[in-house]
Amino acid sequence: MKKKLVNTAAYYAVAGLFAGAFYREFTKYMGYTGVTALGKAHTHLFALGMLMFLIVTALASSTEITKSEYFDRFYFYYNIGVGLSATMIFCRGLYQVIGLDNNVLDLVISWTAGAGHVTVTIGLAFLFLSLKQTIKD
């Protein structure tokens, strides 16, 4: 399981690098100089993805957290949530750079990003339940 956690962190690192490179090159190509959510996709993938799974890997090395009945649920919900949130942040950035003005699309992006953030929160709840079940004082 520790290898799976490290691999997950590595996947998020690669996704974050690609998101950052795309942000830099796409805004340059489009001549866009304003603030855009594209830069936040890069940060979310690094912080919520790579860093979080490196921390969870360290926890797995010092505890038996991966043996908790809640851990698989954490892994599932957290990854779905981060993926959905980062994708919608990326879509929001494209929407901003291209200059679209569509209320329905704006609403869909907002609601889907919100659902992704709620799913991340559910995943975090399962992580805390896993920790509580594993760490006995």
Q: What pLDDT is recorded for position 31? A: 87
7 pLDDT tier (thresholds 50, 70, 90): very high
Measured between its terminal Cα atoms, the distance across the chain in Å is 25
Q: What pLDDT is recorded for position 95? A: 86
For residues 59-66, give the mean pLDDT.
90
Q: Which domain holds residue 115?
A: 2-134
Q: Residue 136 above 90 pLDDT?
A: no
pLDDT 10s digits, 65-112: 999 999 999 999 999 999 999 999 999 999 889 888 888 888 999 999
Q: What pLDDT is recorded for position 105? A: 86
Q: Residue 12 above 90 pLDDT?
A: yes
pTM value is: 0.89
How many domains in the chain? 1
Query: Average pLDDT of the chain?
Result: 92
How far, in Å, CA of 38 to CA of 137, rounded?
44
DSSP 5-55: HHHHHHHHHHHHHHHHHHHHHHHHHHT--S--THHHHHHHIIIIIIIHHHH
How far, in Å, CA of 46 to CA of 135, rounded?
27
The answer to whether residues 91 and 109 touch, using CB atoms and an 8 Å cutoff, is: yes
How far, in Å, CA of 132 to CA of 61, rounded?
16
